[in-house]
Structure 1
Amino acid sequence: MNILIVGNGFDLSHYLPTKYDHFMDVMRAIEEKNTGEKVKDLSIHSVEEWVNEIDKIFEKRKDQIDPDYAMNFDELFSKTRESYFIAKTKEFYLTEQINLSAKDVFKLQYRLELNSWYQYFKKHVEEIKTWIDFEQKIESVIVATAQCIADLEKINNTSDVHSYLTWKSKEQFRIKEKIFHILDCFGLWEAEEYVLMAVAGGKTVKGSRPNINPRFCYGGNLENGLNPLSFLDFLQQQLEQFIVIFDLYLELVISQLNPASMLDIEAKEFVYPDKIYSFNYTNTYQRIHDSVEVEYLHGSHGEYQNIVLGVSDLEDESLKKIKAYGFTKYHQKLFKDTDYLFLDEYKKNIEDTKRKFDEDLQLMSANALSDIKARFMKMGYTGNNINLDLNFYIWGHSLDVSDKDYIHDLFSLNDDMDRNVRVIVYHFNKTAKFDLLNNLLAILGKDKVEHWMKNKWLQFKENPKIVPENAITLEDLPKM
């Protein structure tokens, strides 16, 4: 059986702009699109209330000409930092069909402005290059939250909160500047006026200082102190709203990119798969190549989107203490009911065979045991002997530690004996091969990786090429 495992690099091989940079560049173009003056205080409504209001406005104007706020492909990608890639996208796809309506532009602008995670990521756009960097930034926010909560719990007098939040002060017990600014992006602090000093004539000089935002305090009252659960719930809801924004990008842009001609996968040893395990949210293989069974391990986009975006685990004990599990991929996979089971049928085959062998042996009398065992040995049946005959092709997955559980599962299938499981890892270039091998060594250890490669169970090969049908390739040119 041939099984294809795909990551984001599979979509990128098809010149689909699904990199984190691509997404953020398009969001920036939408955000900066001039659509007239907005309401000054968007916080008077929730994001869904604003979306409903926009729907009502456009419904009232349905018989009128829409304002000229729609955005075509070139406008959407006008801020791109990877012009070569987008040029290839235009070569491969009918990009002239992409047109984001004025209503969709409006809705996305409101969603972007009201989303704390987007506003935070936007400030770190140069630091975050990949979706793995993105996950690490999520972790930095929840770690900062946990540290701050732990500190605030040590403060008994609410008046001492002010000195703690004054990170420029010389007080020993004060918030770190980095943590202050991270949490400020999410509105945990609110400026308050206070009497700085009294002057002649009974007048006072007032100043401004940060304090906890009352909306995140018990009962909405500063005197009651911070309600950690309230702030964590807010972060969680905002992350889900960010996922909605990303889903809209996949729906309104990526899934609407239709090939200009049939696209072929060109590689000598590539075999069309019987099944796909996808770490992507898109249905690229089915949409462009062929219908095949796909299991979306991290969810998929669309009407019933169940996209998983989070951290791999809670490494910091402080995060476990505040039960920040909603930010983990495994919590989201269980909660959103994704196709999170990976290779379970094959692992079950191995376990069932082992168990049956053990049960058969237990049924034999002690006297007959050696004869029975000898007979089984002659048959080559040792309790583990089951041929799986599986060929795995990994295309576009980073093999990063964030998916280490899946990697352990895959490379356990030949434990104890050769069950005819073979793995080919495709790489973009030598640098990518170096990184992929590094990641495998970090997860599996030197001995296992060496064992697999020595037996040729694991091989690294260059990515197959995606070419338009009937395109002339180097192989087609006459030999000199």
Structure 2
Amino acid sequence: MNILVIGNGFDIAHGIPSSYKNFLDFVIAYKKVYKYYASLNTIEKNNFSNGITKISSIYKDASFIMNEMTLSNSRASEFGKMINHNCWIEYFFGRTSQLERKHNWVDIEEEISRVIKALTQLHKTNKGIDFSAEEMYKIDCVLDSEVHGRTAGFDRENEVLLTFMNSLMEEQPGHQITNQKRREYWQKFTSILSADFSNLVRSLELYLDYFIDFTKLSKSDIFDGIKFDHLVTFNYTNTYRVLYNSRISGDFIHGRAQAWRDKEESDVVLGIEEFLDEDQKNKNVEFIAYRKYYQRIIKHCDFSYRKVLENSNNAISTWFFGHSLASSDKDILTHLLPSSDLASQFSSPKKSNVKKSYICYYSQHTLEQQVANLVQILGQEALNDLVCGPDPKIKFVFQDNFKKERMISMNEERTYRT
């Protein structure tokens, strides 16, 4: 049995603008137009069309999107509401400006982790509820706007998270207030973060399943003509089934983007790995909603791959394409990678049923990062044994040779059956 495991690099290889940078760039272009759609002129329309075309040609027609903006019950209108005055999105923009990174890029998951770690630590030391007068005023403004409806001209709440995190990192003490007030504003603050985080996840879902036109995609020669028995995808899109095999069984580990459903029904997972130590991770659950494992459970994500691995009577090979093998997915990856007898403190004690893994890499830099990530998941002794031991079970394959490697394997399978 051959299981294909794909990450975001698979969508990128097919021209889909699915990176966090693409998403944030689209949000910037969209916000400029959506805020003033009632008074659009030809130049603004052209600017929007040119703006999204610079990101990708895979989007739906710009005229269609702009027409949808004017409909109050459309998905385009919903997207505008999800991104409008969203403190997380504004925080990402602010961090991008602060970091001055090349290509104006920021890692959303890394920034979410940064925020939650800081808030967890401060609350643990009883400092997390020490707000300045300015921060309290902005929180009150947010809550007041929620009651009366957020207006396009109200921008003050955009800075709530960024201002608070800046003061946090710079260790600027807030004004002294009563403990009761501290608790009250802490609850208000975390409530705002939670509501806007839900809107952030929904906006990402709409971005991927509503604005991207999958009819514009083309097959890649890398995958055309090769077959797999099961699919495990860490992506939100249905790209592989749309292009190659609509009937293949599979699992959407992080949920599937589906624009047509209500926000409350979404199973899209966006979050961080567990960072608390063994003593705290089962006790401190205040920010558990931001953990991936928690979201996978409450959103009823797919886990059937476990049955496939456990019940298969055949030798199992896993083929990784476009996946970084990040440690945040360790609880999933340990089941999809072969195991070594040389266990370490990092290794899962459970023996894997996977006999061999083929890991595709895009560049030398990608390979180096994947190896470093695997050390965190398997441990260096086990990884070295699995790659360089007398019976290698992990093979790294350059992306251009991925199809050739799979074809060789398919021919070996035919010979074995004969």
Q: TM-score, normalised by structure 2?
A: 0.69
Match of 2:326 in 1: 400
Residue identity opposite 2:214 in structure 1: L
- The answer to whether the 8 A contact 1:30-1:108 is kept is no
**Post-superposition offset of 1:297:** 0.7
1:185 aligns with 2:150: no
Residue identity opposite 1:456 in structure 2: P
Tell me the alpha carbon deviations over residues 166-225 of structure 1, each in whole angstroms, 9 at most, x when there is no partner.
xxxxxxxxxxxxxxx998327879xxxxxxxxxxxxxxxxxxx976999xx96xxx4x74
1:102 aligns with 2:63: no
Distance (whole Å) between structure 2 residues aligned to residue 188 and residue 284 of structure 1: 39
Residue identity opposite 1:323 in structure 2: E
Match of 1:374 in 2: none
- The answer to whether the 8 A contact 1:265-1:465 is kept is no
Residue number among 195, 212, 217 corresponding to 1:237 in the alignment: 195
Tell me the alpha carbon deviations over residues 26-60 of structure 1, each in whole angstroms, 9 at most, x when there is no partner.
0000111275399xxxxxxxxxxxxxxxxxxxxxx
Match of 2:30 in 1: 30
Larger CA deviation: 71-80 vs 276-285: 71-80
1:438 aligns with 2:396: no
Secondary structure of 2:96's aligned partner: coil
- The answer to whether the 8 A contact 2:3-2:318 is kept is yes
Distance (whole Å) between structure 2 residues aligned to residue 413 and residue 28 of structure 1: 45
1:334 aligns with 2:334: no
- The answer to whether the 8 A contact 1:8-1:18 is kept is yes
Distance (whole Å) between structure 1 residues aligned to residue 176 and residue 238 of structure 2: 44
Task: Call closer, same or farther: CA 1:182–1:322 in 2, change over 3 Å.
Answer: farther
Match of 1:325 in 2: 288
- The answer to whether the 8 A contact 1:280-1:298 is kept is yes
- The answer to whether the 8 A contact 2:341-2:382 is kept is no
**Post-superposition offset of 1:259:** 3.1
Residue number among 394, 397, 404 corresponding to 1:458 in the alignment: 394
Residue number among 257, 262, 279 corresponding to 1:301 in the alignment: 257
1:259 aligns with 2:225: no
Match of 1:411 in 2: 337
1:17 aligns with 2:17: yes
Secondary structure of 1:124's aligned partner: helix
Larger CA deviation: 69-78 vs 25-34: 69-78
- The answer to whether the 8 A contact 2:4-2:319 is kept is yes
**Post-superposition offset of 1:343:** 2.9
Which protein shows a greater Rg? 1
Task: Call closer, same or farther: CA 1:258–1:163 in 2, change over 3 Å.
Answer: closer
Larger CA deviation: 317-326 vs 449-458: 317-326
- The answer to whether the 8 A contact 2:256-2:267 is kept is yes
Secondary structure of 1:321's aligned partner: coil
Secondary structure of 1:307's aligned partner: coil
Distance (whole Å) between structure 1 residues aligned to residue 371 and residue 106 of structure 2: 17
Report how many aligned residue pairs link the two structures. Answer: 349
1:37-436 map, 5 Å? 75=48, 78=51, 86=55, 90=57, 96=61, 99-100=64-65, 101-103=68-70, 106-125=77-96, 127=99, 133-150=107-124, 152=126, 184-185=160-161, 222=181, 225-226=183-184, 228-254=186-212, 256-259=213-216, 263-266=219-222, 271-291=226-246, 292-302=248-258, 303=261, 304-315=265-276, 321=284, 323-340=286-303, 342-347=305-310, 388-412=314-338, 421-436=355-370
Residue identity opposite 2:216 in structure 1: P
Percent of counterpart pairs with the same letter?
A: 22
- The answer to whether the 8 A contact 1:2-1:274 is kept is yes
Match of 2:141 in 1: none
- The answer to whether the 8 A contact 2:229-2:249 is kept is yes
Distance (whole Å) between structure 2 residues aligned to residue 312 and residue 132 of structure 1: 18
Tell me the alpha carbon deviations over residues 266-296 of structure 1, each in whole angstroms, 9 at most, x when there is no partner.
369x831111011001000011221111201
Distance (whole Å) between structure 2 residues aligned to residue 330 and residue 431 of structure 1: 28
Residue identity opposite 1:184 in structure 2: V
Structure number with higher helix proportion: 2
Task: Call closer, same or farther: CA 1:213–1:145 in 2, change over 3 Å.
Answer: farther
Residue identity opposite 2:252 in structure 1: Y
Tell me the alpha carbon deviations over residues 76-105 of structure 1, each in whole angstroms, 9 at most, x when there is no partner.
56168xx5xx5xx54xx5865883123355
Q: TM-score, normalised by structure 1?
A: 0.61
Task: Call closer, same or farther: CA 1:77–1:299 in 2, change over 3 Å.
Answer: farther
Residue identity opposite 1:78 in structure 2: G
**Post-superposition offset of 1:419:** 6.3
- The answer to whether the 8 A contact 1:70-1:105 is kept is no
**Post-superposition offset of 1:337:** 0.6
Task: Call closer, same or farther: CA 1:230–1:341 in 2, change over 3 Å.
Answer: farther
